[in-house]
Amino acid sequence: MFMIMYMSIIILLISNTMMFISIILSKKSFSDREKCSPFECGFDPKSSARIPFSLHFFLITVIFLIFDVEIALIFPIINLFKMTNIYMWFKISFFFIIVLLLGLYHEWNQNMLNWTN
Protein backbone atom coordinates (compact mmCIF):
# COMPACT_ATOMS: atom_id res chain seq x y z
CA MET A 1 0.00 0.00 0.00
CA PHE A 2 2.76 2.42 0.95
CA MET A 3 4.74 1.46 -2.14
CA ILE A 4 1.85 2.54 -4.39
CA MET A 5 1.49 5.79 -2.45
CA TYR A 6 5.21 6.54 -2.71
CA MET A 7 5.26 5.76 -6.43
CA SER A 8 2.26 7.99 -7.09
CA ILE A 9 3.89 10.85 -5.14
CA ILE A 10 7.13 10.40 -7.10
CA ILE A 11 5.26 10.37 -10.42
CA LEU A 12 3.31 13.46 -9.39
CA LEU A 13 6.49 15.31 -8.41
CA ILE A 14 8.28 14.37 -11.63
CA SER A 15 5.37 15.41 -13.84
CA ASN A 16 4.88 18.71 -12.01
CA THR A 17 8.61 19.44 -12.19
CA MET A 18 8.65 18.76 -15.93
CA MET A 19 5.64 21.02 -16.49
CA PHE A 20 7.22 23.80 -14.43
CA ILE A 21 10.50 23.52 -16.37
CA SER A 22 8.66 23.61 -19.70
CA ILE A 23 6.78 26.76 -18.66
CA ILE A 24 10.01 28.46 -17.63
CA LEU A 25 11.94 27.47 -20.77
CA SER A 26 9.14 27.96 -23.29
CA LYS A 27 9.68 30.50 -26.01
CA LYS A 28 7.64 33.61 -25.50
CA SER A 29 6.03 34.86 -28.68
CA PHE A 30 4.43 38.21 -29.10
CA SER A 31 1.44 38.16 -31.42
CA ASP A 32 1.01 40.99 -33.82
CA ARG A 33 -1.38 41.55 -36.71
CA GLU A 34 0.97 40.16 -39.32
CA LYS A 35 1.63 36.91 -37.46
CA CYS A 36 -2.04 36.27 -36.81
CA SER A 37 -3.16 36.92 -40.39
CA PRO A 38 -3.17 34.13 -43.00
CA PHE A 39 -0.39 34.08 -45.56
CA GLU A 40 -1.50 34.50 -49.16
CA CYS A 41 1.68 34.91 -51.22
CA GLY A 42 2.54 38.24 -49.64
CA PHE A 43 -0.75 39.89 -50.51
CA ASP A 44 -3.43 41.06 -48.13
CA PRO A 45 -6.11 38.39 -47.73
CA LYS A 46 -9.23 38.82 -49.88
CA SER A 47 -11.64 37.61 -47.21
CA SER A 48 -11.62 36.60 -43.58
CA ALA A 49 -9.77 33.36 -42.92
CA ARG A 50 -11.92 32.75 -39.88
CA ILE A 51 -15.06 31.12 -41.22
CA PRO A 52 -18.03 30.98 -38.86
CA PHE A 53 -18.19 27.79 -36.86
CA SER A 54 -21.48 25.93 -36.57
CA LEU A 55 -21.98 25.15 -32.89
CA HIS A 56 -25.04 23.04 -33.71
CA PHE A 57 -22.99 20.80 -36.02
CA PHE A 58 -20.35 20.44 -33.28
CA LEU A 59 -22.98 19.37 -30.72
CA ILE A 60 -24.45 16.80 -33.11
CA THR A 61 -20.93 15.45 -33.68
CA VAL A 62 -20.33 15.16 -29.93
CA ILE A 63 -23.65 13.35 -29.47
CA PHE A 64 -22.73 10.96 -32.29
CA LEU A 65 -19.38 10.23 -30.63
CA ILE A 66 -21.06 9.61 -27.28
CA PHE A 67 -23.49 7.12 -28.83
CA ASP A 68 -20.63 5.51 -30.75
CA VAL A 69 -18.69 4.94 -27.52
CA GLU A 70 -21.84 3.60 -25.87
CA ILE A 71 -22.24 1.04 -28.64
CA ALA A 72 -18.61 0.01 -28.16
CA LEU A 73 -19.38 -0.47 -24.45
CA ILE A 74 -22.40 -2.66 -25.21
CA PHE A 75 -20.35 -5.28 -27.08
CA PRO A 76 -18.62 -6.70 -23.97
CA ILE A 77 -22.04 -7.25 -22.40
CA ILE A 78 -22.62 -9.97 -25.01
CA ASN A 79 -19.48 -11.83 -23.89
CA LEU A 80 -20.44 -11.26 -20.26
CA PHE A 81 -23.55 -13.38 -20.90
CA LYS A 82 -21.37 -16.51 -21.15
CA MET A 83 -19.46 -15.81 -17.91
CA THR A 84 -22.19 -14.87 -15.44
CA ASN A 85 -25.58 -16.14 -14.48
CA ILE A 86 -28.64 -14.81 -16.27
CA TYR A 87 -29.91 -12.78 -13.30
CA MET A 88 -26.64 -10.84 -12.86
CA TRP A 89 -26.33 -10.30 -16.62
CA PHE A 90 -29.88 -8.98 -16.79
CA LYS A 91 -29.27 -6.53 -13.92
CA ILE A 92 -26.08 -5.17 -15.48
CA SER A 93 -27.59 -4.90 -18.96
CA PHE A 94 -30.80 -3.33 -17.68
CA PHE A 95 -28.92 -0.71 -15.66
CA PHE A 96 -26.69 0.18 -18.61
CA ILE A 97 -29.59 0.45 -21.05
CA ILE A 98 -31.57 2.59 -18.58
CA VAL A 99 -28.63 5.01 -18.26
CA LEU A 100 -28.41 5.23 -22.07
CA LEU A 101 -32.14 5.82 -22.41
CA LEU A 102 -32.09 8.53 -19.74
CA GLY A 103 -29.28 10.28 -21.62
CA LEU A 104 -31.21 10.01 -24.87
CA TYR A 105 -34.35 11.38 -23.20
CA HIS A 106 -32.37 14.32 -21.77
CA GLU A 107 -30.92 15.14 -25.20
CA TRP A 108 -34.36 14.86 -26.76
CA ASN A 109 -35.82 17.10 -24.05
CA GLN A 110 -33.12 19.74 -24.69
CA ASN A 111 -33.91 19.64 -28.48
CA MET A 112 -30.37 18.52 -29.24
CA LEU A 113 -31.51 15.90 -31.74
CA ASN A 114 -33.11 18.40 -34.15
CA TRP A 115 -31.08 18.82 -37.32
CA THR A 116 -32.47 22.26 -38.04
CA ASN A 117 -32.87 25.24 -35.77
Report if residue 14 sits inside a domain.
Answer: no
Report if residue 66 sits inside a domain.
Answer: yes
Residue 31 pLDDT: 65
Decide: 80 and 110 in contact? Cβ < 8 Å: no
pLDDT in tens, the chain (117 residues): 788 899 999 999 999 999 999 888 887 666 666 666 666 566 665 666 666 777 777 877 888 888 888 888 888 888 887 888 888 888 888 998 898 889 888 888 888 777 665
Report if residue 86 sits inside a domain.
Answer: yes
Report if residue 18 sits inside a domain.
Answer: no
Residue 10 pLDDT: 94
* Spatial distance between the Cα atoms of 85 and 99, rounded to a whole number of angstroms: 22
Which range of residues forms the domain containing residue 93? 61-117
Report if residue 69 sits inside a domain.
Answer: yes
Report if residue 85 sits inside a domain.
Answer: yes
Report if residue 103 sits inside a domain.
Answer: yes
What total of structural domains would you count in the chain? 1
SS3 43: strand
Report if residue 55 sits inside a domain.
Answer: no
Residue 25 pLDDT: 85
* Spatial distance between the Cα atoms of 69 and 9, rounded to a whole number of angstroms: 32
Whether pTM > 0.85 for this model: the answer is no
